Amino acid sequence: QPLCGFSNAVVQILRLHGVEDYNAHDVLQDPDLRQGIKNYSNWPTIPQVYLNGEFVGGCDILLQMHQNGDLVEELKKLGIRSALLDAEKDQDKK
pLDDT, averaged per 10 consecutive residues of the chain (94 residues), comes to 90 95 91 96 96 96 97 96 81 58
Q: Within a 13 Å sphere around the CA of 55, how many CA atoms are in the beta-carbon half?
A: 14
Asked if 84 and 70 touch (Cβ cutoff 8 Å), the reply is no
Residue 3: per-residue pLDDT: 81
59 labeled binding residue: no
Query: What are the residue ranges of helices labelled H in 17-93?
Result: 31-41, 59-68, 70-77, 83-93
> Could you give the domains of the chain?
5-92 (3.40.30.10)
Residue 1: per-residue pLDDT: 77
CA–CA dist 94, 89 (Å, integer): 9
Q: Which pTM was predicted?
A: 0.86
CA–CA dist 33, 50 (Å, integer): 15
